[in-house]
Amino acid sequence: MDRRETGLCVSFTALLCFNSTATAVQNITVTVNPEEECQSAGKEFAAYFTPEYKDGKLYCVTPCMSGFNTSLDCHYGKCRLQRSGPQCLCLTTDTHWYTGETCDWGVQKSLVYGLLGAVGTVLLVALVVVLVFAILFKREAKRDHSEASEGQGQQVNPGDPELQGQLGELLFDQAIGLLNLTRGLGVVLGVESPRDGQVFTD
């Protein structure tokens, strides 16, 4: 008969025998700080990792991970975690440019091109008008100079009333022409509007 069958333990098998007083069950409590665990997992991006529970499970998430409460909504862009923090990189499509901190503001390309074209056209028209007026003014000045040089060959009496009248009329005509030129330029450039068709004539 084997002594183990009788329930008595002998010295050579004592290590294998059950002893109810030698074994004790203890409750061990392990405390885990989820925030510290997440930050240790994040390494150089540790500041941007936060713990979040979803469906009873703990996740270490960044703002660039979708589907969580702390997720960053980049509307028309993609979130990228960089050393400076999470940033939205905005998309550019065939029809729009997207901008803003969360790529939520779109600019229509055709609108920008249309505005630039309109401004360019207005500037071109204004330049042409200025050039036309400059050429006309230069011709008028040449004509006046040639008329004055023709008159220098004759004996002139400064006290002659007829000469004074011609000179006054010439100066008046020049002043009226210059006034009309500046008014016309103001109307074309949108600086001044014509007043009831007031245009001075010779």
Chain segment 76-88, per-residue pLDDT in tens: 999 999 988 999 9
pLDDT at 202: 46
Better pLDDT: 71 or 22: 71
Summarize pLDDT for 31-61 with one digit per residue, the tens: 777 788 887 776 788 888 889 988 888 898 9
45's CB contacts (< 8 A; 6+ apart) are: 62, 81, 83
DSSP for residue 103: S
Backbone angles phi, psi at 130, to 5 degrees: -60, -45
Higher pLDDT residue, 198 or 64? 64
- What is the band of 116 on the pLDDT scale with cuts at 50, 70, 90? very high
Contact indicator for 64, 81 with CB cutoff of 8 Å: yes
DSSP 115-175: HHHHHHHHHHHHHHHHHHHHHHHHHHHHHHHHHHHHHTTS---TT-HHHHHHHHHHHHHHH
Structure tokens at 174: 């020049």
| CA–CA dist 161, 168 (Å, integer) | 10
Q: What is the pLDDT of residues 122-162, one digit of tens each?
A: 999 999 999 998 898 888 888 877 776 665 555 555 556 66
The residue to which tokens 């930050």 are assigned: 39
Q: How many CB atoms lie within 10 A of CB 90?
A: 21
Model pTM?
A: 0.45
For tokens 């183990």, what's the residue? Answer: 4
Cα(146)–Cα(175) distance, integer angstroms: 18
Q: Which long-range contacts (CB under 8 A, 24 or more apart) does 98-104 make?
A: 102/72, 102/73, 102/74, 102/75, 102/77, 103/74, 103/75, 103/76, 103/77, 104/75, 104/76
